[in-house]
Structure 1
Amino acid sequence: MNKGGILLAGIGALLVGMTVFGKTDIRPRCAGLAETALHASILIESSETVEQTDSLPAFCRIRGTIDPDIGFEARFPLDGWNGNYFQAGCGGFCGRIEPDRETHSNAINHALRRGHATITTNGGHEGESLGDGRWALDNPAAEEVYAHRVLPLTRAAGHRLVEAVYEAEPAYSYFSGCSNGGRLGAQAAQRYPDLFDGIVIGCPVLKLSVNGGAFGAWVLQSNSDGDGGRILDYRFIPKLAMLERNALAQCDALDGQADGAIAEPGLCQVSLDAIPVCEGEPRNDCLTAAEKRVVGLWYQGPVNSRGESVFPGMPAGSERFWGHWYLGDETFQGIGTLLADGYGTYLGFAEDPPGYSALQFDFDTDVAKLAAQGELFDALDPDLAAFRDAGGKIIMWHGMADPLVLPGQSRDYYEAVMSELGESQTTAFFRLFEAPGLGHCWDLPASLPDGMDLLGALEQWVEADIAPDEIPVTQRGAEGYVAASGMLRPYPQFAQYADKSP
């Protein structure tokens, strides 16, 4: 099914469309767009042509606002438009327009290079960083836009911009996002099944209410020294390699492959018994008693006073990423720390509690209070029949070493969809790929190859009906050669890796 309004008979017809669009000079229309009244919901602040660089093709850059407060930047190729539309998600609490994000994490440039007309937004509000949740204070209207309404509002405006610039409707519409952007991708399939032909859902925080509210509070509380300080901070980072080696020694081979990454972290309860307790001056080959307690609690995950699990803990193999997300540096505590405190303070409860801190979260009484906002934010509906019947396709992926958005929730959701629709019906339009050794959304290099073309795989599935039975992954050396490679396979299969040499 084609949701853009142009029905093209097969790939050949699509290529013809690409040639026609590529010959059209859109520069005059791009330059005059700021003076054009497209729609009452769209305020165009600027439009200009940007010439080709070594990394990007020439494009039309459009900046503006979509009613109510969705700031956006669109980048449309000046030549060689492939006839398609691409919309990116935004991570964390959003609040910023980031068109030049690298890799595929809530980014648009990789799609622009493929010829897509692309757009990215700030999620409907402004913030100082992706960890700034102050915009949500007593602001339920903005929370609803952030939760899911940004999807149809942006898509409608994006299509109007495409039609104004190219004088044609998009042939296919794609969405890709990671973390909160992945949650938005799931919301699109669940709430708005007619918006997109294909969706890439990466490391999705499907249970934002509990992941953000309870797990985040547990990370902060278990790391508190009781006097306003942290037990683990940036000075602990040199010990993370020791923790990773300890986890790999216990867990790497449980999936049948000793390949330097843990594919099944849920099968392993990491023991710290082999790591000595520091005596005398602290060293990097031991843990103090306080450090060992915090690490053990992070692996365990939040529990209530009866010892009942509230949410899983950090996966074995994620240790190398703890510094980026939770330990920070001399001036910054880490984005995960900001997100953990900000969710409960500004988004987690139906009414924002004055003076709240995640250090006050009560694991006996407050978990249930997260459910009201969970109805708004969480993306857990397994009934994707409407999206399936509309012809949509989904590629979901998750790094199995993700310490911020715990990877088990993607598998749990996928299994719930299979239970709802049946395995064969599900795999016909929806596939999950688990990536061992990969953390959260490519923000740091993985321990195994992680270079993959997810959008290309999705295009093949949507436009040529070639299902992704495997997705190649590569890791390039300093000279550009393939240093290592592998193949991601759809769940429940495991990825496979092979070393290469220049």
Structure 2
Amino acid sequence: MRMPGIRALIALILIMAAAALAGRAADCASLSRTSLPDTTLTTAQSMPAGRFVPPYGRPVDKLPAFCRLAGVIRPTSDSDIRFEVWLPASDWNGKFLSVGNGGFAGSINYYAMADDLRRGYATAATDTGHEGDAEDASWAFKHPEKVVDFGYRGLHATAENAKALIQTFYNSAVRHSYFDSCSDGGREALMEAQRFPEDFDGILAGAPANFWTHMLAAAVEIIQGMYGKDPSAYIPSAKLPAIQSAALAACDAQDGVKDGIISDPLRCHFDPSVLLCKGKDSRDCLTAPQLSTLKNLYAGAQDSHGKQIFPGYMPGAEDGPAGWAPWITGSGPGKASGPVYAENYFRYMVFQDPAWNLLSANVDITEAMADEKTGAILNATDPDLGRFRTRGGKLILYHGWNDPAISPLNTINYYNSVVAKMGAKNADSFLRLYMVPGMQHCFPGPGPNWFGQTGHPTAKGKAYGVFDALEEWVEKGTAPGDVIATKYLEDDVAKGVQMTRPLCPYPQIARYKGTGDTNDAANFVCRAP
């Protein structure tokens, strides 16, 4: 007699659940009528759980059901800022997490959005006002307003729209808002903290390209020195293993462990002269012109007066698929990302001349024109974060010591400038920097490179996740200390842990205690250098 009653109850529950889902679906569709400044919503669609196939790129799987919103923002007649907002259909954690871009942007980062959605966040992303390959800036030719959209306007407008749509969908304001990205996304992160401190409560900025103008002016000087003036000065990628081996031989053991990682490159006094060929040229040595190039890469580009334009690279991870080859040396002169980015930037953003020649350009004029034309739009170097601090914002920076795309010293320089401007005590109340030994650009490299940064979430909590530590700081006032980074075998979580190592709040570094497994973070301690 009780069974029919139970069945009826179950049926009623299922009907109510279906009705609730249908109601939420209707809520999603109704958002298409939401009025937002300078904005047209083009999509308001309830997406089922499972696979999502984005307009470009590979499909993403294992997504919860969500409300997908897409639109275009046109603050000027030449603007075309595409954006998307994804809202969990259930189990929203009450937070908003926005993601950024790499290179010259030009696409929506669906994969970072998917990571965030799986963890219960409402999330948003933008193409920053144009569509195209991340290395291509031809869209900027004779379109100055699009450069502004890319520089800062697109992300800010997207954040404002996302918060309004979240409020409408859930009938509840965001409890906490976050931004997490790397590379140009790191520049975007700092731009937000400096220009729009009300947008986000917590910001995680990795390897920020925030001194954009000098970073790419430096690329011109380096490339000219490498093969523009003397083709024999070019270092073939085949010689990178020998360079890395010599650097490791000089400095690897300084932290007490010989593990193929230089934990404190600032105190590595590696003399590249040991690589000078003593006889016939080979892949195991450098000719005199090549040695000069290597020294310049470590020292950083300089103008004609000997003033540094941008800091140099650190020794210890020159080789490997994500080392200097794809970014600096390439498969031949000019066949690397560095010259491609520099050429696109100066042709289409600075000089508005598609025929501009990187190899014959005057470096001093190039640097000055970059600052004049785009410095105020693209650089995010203001050390005064007083407004962000006053409203309770928290900022965590991180950078791989062996980044071949953006010198890690640039991030240290910015951190030091904030400390100098605001004072050590004030800076310590809202700012942290973590330098990552052996990590290259944003993630790859031989070092411990998985610590909860963008694209690499962890479920282990604040001890293992820098983003989790940021949330604890924002929401509970618990300032972050050491964060344990993990290196997985072949960078594959499924293959197990190769090593763990603490990441220390700068300027501390991790030192081996002297006993125990050197692959276990528990046997290291953070100390002042």
* TM-score tier (shorter): 0.7 to 0.9
Aligned positions of 1:346-385 closer than 5 A: 346-347=348-349, 349=350, 351-353=351-353, 355-372=355-372, 373-385=374-386
Which residue of 2 is the match for residue 484 of structure 1? 499
Which residue of 2 is the match for residue 304 of structure 1? 303
Looking at structure 2, the residues matched to 330 and 30 of structure 1 have their Cα atoms a distance apart, in angstroms, of 55
SS of the equivalent of 1:274 reads helix
Aligned positions of 1:324-335 closer than 5 A: 324-328=326-330, 333-335=335-337
1:34-86 Cα offsets, whole Å, 9 max, x none, are 74344353323333404136643333333332223111232222221101111
Looking at structure 1, the residues matched to 426 and 170 of structure 2 have their Cα atoms a distance apart, in angstroms, of 37
Deviates more, 1:163-172 or 1:427-436: 163-172
Q: Is the 8 A contact 2:225 2:233 kept in 1?
A: no
CA separation of 1:313 and 1:192: change in aligned 2, threshold 3 A: same
Which residue of 2 is the match for residue 342 of structure 1? 344
CA separation of 1:225 and 1:147: change in aligned 2, threshold 3 A: closer
Which residue of 2 is the match for residue 19 of structure 1? none
Q: Alpha-carbon deviation of 1:278?
A: 8.3
- 1:90 and 2:101 correspond: yes
Q: Is the 8 A contact 2:237 2:331 kept in 1?
A: no
Deviates more, 1:179-188 or 1:299-308: 299-308
SS of the equivalent of 1:130 reads coil
Q: TM-score, normalised by structure 2?
A: 0.80
Aligned positions of 1:223-302 closer than 5 A: 223-224=226-227, 231-232=234-235, 236-254=236-254, 258-268=258-268, 270-275=270-275, 277=277, 283-302=282-301
SS of the equivalent of 1:359 reads coil
Looking at structure 2, the residues matched to 448 and 284 of structure 1 have their Cα atoms a distance apart, in angstroms, of 29
Structure with greater Cα Rg? 2
* Unaligned 5+ runs, structure 1: 1-22, 101-106
Deviates more, 1:369-378 or 1:403-412: 369-378
Q: Is the 8 A contact 1:85 1:172 kept in 2?
A: yes
Looking at structure 1, the residues matched to 422 and 296 of structure 2 have their Cα atoms a distance apart, in angstroms, of 37
Root mean square deviation of aligned Cα: 2.9
Q: Is the 8 A contact 1:260 1:448 kept in 2?
A: no
Q: TM-score, normalised by structure 1?
A: 0.84
Q: Is the 8 A contact 1:270 1:299 kept in 2?
A: no
Q: Alpha-carbon deviation of 1:358?
A: 2.2
1:271-308 Cα offsets, whole Å, 9 max, x none, are 3332252866x643233555444333322322233444
Looking at structure 2, the residues matched to 279 and 24 of structure 1 have their Cα atoms a distance apart, in angstroms, of 79
1:405-447 Cα offsets, whole Å, 9 max, x none, are 11112111112211222212111111111111111111x3343
Counterpart AA for 2:50: Q
- 1:394 and 2:409 correspond: no
Looking at structure 2, the residues matched to 114 and 168 of structure 1 have their Cα atoms a distance apart, in angstroms, of 19
Deviates more, 1:181-190 or 1:156-165: 156-165
SS of the equivalent of 1:119 reads strand
Deviates more, 1:336-345 or 1:26-35: 26-35
Which residue of 1 is the match for residue 425 of structure 2? 424
Q: Which of residues 166, 172, 177 is equivalent to 2:170?
A: 166
Q: Is the 8 A contact 2:404 2:440 kept in 1?
A: yes
Looking at structure 1, the residues matched to 317 and 344 of structure 2 have their Cα atoms a distance apart, in angstroms, of 23
CA separation of 1:401 and 1:192: change in aligned 2, threshold 3 A: same
SS of the equivalent of 1:402 reads coil
Which residue of 2 is the match for residue 462 of structure 1? 474
Q: Which of residues 225, 230, 253 is equivalent to 1:222?
A: 225
Counterpart AA for 2:447: S
CA separation of 1:492 and 1:297: change in aligned 2, threshold 3 A: closer
Aligned positions of 1:94-105 closer than 5 A: 94-100=105-111
Q: Which of residues 96, 105, 110 is equivalent to 2:115?
A: 110
Looking at structure 2, the residues matched to 493 and 331 of structure 1 have their Cα atoms a distance apart, in angstroms, of 38
Counterpart AA for 2:66: F
* Unaligned 5+ runs, structure 2: 1-18, 52-60, 453-464, 513-517, 522-529
- 1:62 and 2:59 correspond: no
Counterpart AA for 2:300: G
Looking at structure 2, the residues matched to 143 and 184 of structure 1 have their Cα atoms a distance apart, in angstroms, of 13
Q: Is the 8 A contact 1:276 1:286 kept in 2?
A: yes
Q: Alpha-carbon deviation of 1:255?
A: 5.9
1:108-161 Cα offsets, whole Å, 9 max, x none, are 33322221101111111122x111111122222111121111232011111122
Q: Is the 8 A contact 1:30 1:49 kept in 2?
A: no
Deviates more, 1:292-301 or 1:145-154: 292-301
CA separation of 1:305 and 1:331: change in aligned 2, threshold 3 A: closer
Deviates more, 1:48-57 or 1:82-91: 48-57
Counterpart AA for 1:196: F
CA separation of 1:41 and 1:218: change in aligned 2, threshold 3 A: same
CA separation of 1:386 and 1:309: change in aligned 2, threshold 3 A: closer
Q: Alpha-carbon deviation of 1:24?
A: 6.6
Looking at structure 2, the residues matched to 405 and 331 of structure 1 have their Cα atoms a distance apart, in angstroms, of 19
Deviates more, 1:65-74 or 1:324-333: 324-333
SS of the equivalent of 2:501 reads strand
Looking at structure 2, the residues matched to 367 and 331 of structure 1 have their Cα atoms a distance apart, in angstroms, of 22
Q: Is the 8 A contact 2:233 2:293 kept in 1?
A: no
Q: Is the 8 A contact 1:222 1:298 kept in 2?
A: no
SS of the equivalent of 1:360 reads coil
1:11-40 Cα offsets, whole Å, 9 max, x none, are xxxxxxxxxxxx974741465157434435
Q: Alpha-carbon deviation of 1:500?
A: 4.5
Which structure's relative contact order is higher, taking Cα pairs within 8 Å and 6+ residues apart? Answer: 1
Counterpart AA for 2:33: T
Counterpart AA for 1:117: A
Looking at structure 2, the residues matched to 34 and 418 of structure 1 have their Cα atoms a distance apart, in angstroms, of 44
Aligned positions of 1:65-214 closer than 5 A: 65-67=72-74, 68-100=79-111, 107-127=112-132, 129-213=133-217
Which residue of 2 is the match for residue 51 of structure 1? 49
